[in-house]
Amino acid sequence: FFLCDHHLSYMNDGKTNTTDNLLLEVCLAALHEGVLISADHGKHQLTNEGSQLCTVLARSFADIGDIVRGKDLFIGYDKKDRNEKKQLQQNLKNIFKEIHNGLDTEAQERYKDEDDNEENYYKLREDWWYANRATVWKAITCGTHGGDTYFRATCDSSNRQGPSQANKYCRCNGDKPGEDKANIDPPTYFDYVPQFLR
């Protein structure tokens, strides 16, 4: 969890003022986190037997989603960490404010949070995450291998036989790094499970 937070904390709200720039920054954080987790996963299996790489990545993916949406419950280990998290959320508020200001009037009204006096843009952040989660999943799983599987069948097999398992590269329906398929959903919904239950 520290990894994605650490990379995202370097985001500059002055440069990251569009949804495309934000997606780039979030994907870079996910990519770096995925590569580091993939590289270290083998040695952690010695103490956490049965740990599957795709599941570990799914939990980290969910943490990134919580950070982006302003739902991160983890406040930090120490004062420095808490201050970095506070600054990160302030940067994200500023970024989403810029994105909000760039929307047409109708969209701005739709994303106006009535109960949000601090302009957190929670509705906009939620929709941004939903629209971009598949791309972030592809970034975090970029360093996986052909045998990496998700712990349960969650992929739409589109053959009406029920869900299938993401059994290669932690992705559904044969999608793999370098040959990305369109409209492939992540095999996880951990990002919609409350953080304290994961």
pLDDT band for 7, please (50, 70, 90 cuts): low
DSSP state of 56: H
User: pLDDT tens digits for 179-188?
Assistant: 777 667 788 8
Higher-scoring residue by pLDDT: 27, 8: 27
Degrees to nearest 5, angle at CA 24 with 121 and 65? 50
Is the pLDDT score of 14 beyond 80? no
User: Residue 72's CB: how many other CB atoms inside 10 A?
Assistant: 19
Q: How far apart are alpha carbons 158 and 184 in whole angstroms?
A: 12
Q: Where are the domains of the chain?
A: 2-146
Least confident interval from 11-15, 36-40, 62-66, 108-112: 11-15
The DSSP letter of residue 141 is T
Element (H, E) at 156: none
Lowest-confidence range among 156-160, 170-174, 194-198?
156-160
Q: CATH class for domain 2-146?
A: mainly alpha
**What is residue 2's predicted lDDT score, i.e. its pLDDT?**
45
Interatomic CA distance for residues 51 and 43, integer angstroms: 11
User: Residue 33 pLDDT more than 90?
Assistant: yes
Q: What is the pLDDT of residue 31?
A: 94
Look at residue 193 and tell me whether its pLDDT is greater than 70.
Answer: yes
Radius of gyration of the chain (CA): 17
Q: Where are the alpha helices (DSSP H) in the chain?
A: 2-8, 19-44, 53-69, 79-101, 105-110, 122-140
Q: For residues 57 and 90, what is the distance between their CA atoms, to the nearest angstrom?
A: 26
The mean predicted confidence, pLDDT, of the chain is 84
Under the banding of pLDDT at 50, 70 and 90, the label for residue 139 is very high
Express each pLDDT in 40-98 by its tens digit: 887 877 777 777 899 999 999 999 999 999 998 787 778 988 898 889 999 999 999 99
- Residue 188 in contact with residue 163, Cβ under 8 Å? no
